[in-house]
Amino acid sequence: MLTFVGLGLCDERDITLKGLEAVKRADRVYAEFYTSRLTVSLDRLERVFGREIEILERKHLEEESRKLVDEAREHDVVVLVPGDPMIATTHSSVVFEAKKKGVEVRVIHNASIVSAIAGVTGLHVYRFGKTATVSYPYRGIVSRAPLDVVRDNLSINAHTLLLLDLNPEPMTIAEAVSILENVDDGTLDHFAVGVARVGSEDGLVVCDKFYRLGDHDFGKPLHSIVVLARTLHITEYEFLREFANAPASLESLVE
């Protein structure tokens, strides 16, 4: 059996009871940290879970996924993944491959930035549109894709969650702003919310014009950005004004 266990947003105590049971019962425990990151060390995970954990690299879940699936045919294999395991399409591909080969698959869900973002920003979850990722420039080329997604979402008056690239190093909000400035066509004039370390005790949420978010000190990663919809519900506005240091001019968005 192949079990994907979500580790949630922050540390070793965000695992569920069901997830921990699966870890304790497994023949072999793997973890991958390239589709998402925790703020806790591998050592600490091993100590708290009482298991040795082997790190999977990207290739182990992509080109070489057959090895993992074959191992799960004979053994009880757990793969630990920060956040919710099925957010990354990499993992759904492995699930597909395993199921197709008749290997039993189990997914133990957990919190993900995709759902937690509403809570920390006070924004209504049903008003979020498509999600996008801001990537590092590739061979000097900056992708416009995330700004296209923002434009799509603005056309239906929806918020946009922008996740920031994790590899080789987790991108900061300041880096994201400076990358997107190269391809901006006015999107950076919109209001946005920068969030850091969602789900941890020292999380930070700041609302400002998108282009100004880079001037705030968000501290350590992980960072994400929400570009606000064309209008805000009054309670969304009040929350951002009160707890995200939003400028008074944000009021112009209230419908």
For residues 129 and 214, which CB has a smaller minimum distance to a second copy in the complex?
A: 129
Residue 54 neighbours by CB under 8 Å, 6+ apart: 28, 29, 30, 31
CA pair distance 232, 152, nearest whole angstrom: 17
Q: How many residues line the site for a second copy (CB under 8 A)? A: 57
Q: Which stretch binds a second copy (CB under 8 A): 31-39, 64-72, 102-110, 220-228?
A: 102-110
Query: 165 among the known binding-site residues?
Result: no
- Give the footprint of a second copy on residues 165-224 (CB under 8 A): 199
Is 14 marked within a binding site? no
CA distance 250 to 12: 38
CB of 215 to a second copy, least distance (A): 25
Classify residue 184 as exposed, middle or buried by CB count within 10 Å of its CB (0-12, 13-18, 19+): middle
List the structure tokens of 242.
Answer: 């009160």
Q: Is 87 annotated as ligand-binding? A: yes
- Tell me: does residue 129 bind a second copy (CB under 8 A): yes
How far is 225 from 143, CA to CA, in rounded Å? Answer: 17
Residue from 28, 108, 15, 18 nearest 76 by CA: 28
> Are the C-beta atoms of 19 and 9 separated by less than 8 Å?
no
Binding to a second copy (CB under 8 A) within 3-32 occurs at 6, 8-9, 12-18, 20-21
Distance, C-alpha 214 to centroid of its chain? 19
C-beta of 120 vs 173, nearer to a second copy: 120
Binding residue numbers for S-adenosyl-L-methionine: 9, 84, 87, 112-113, 164, 198, 223
**Footprint of a second copy (CB under 8 A):** 6, 8-9, 12-18, 20-21, 84-87, 89, 91-93, 95-96, 99-100, 107, 109-112, 114-116, 118-120, 122, 124-133, 152-153, 155-156, 158, 199, 235, 238-239, 242-243
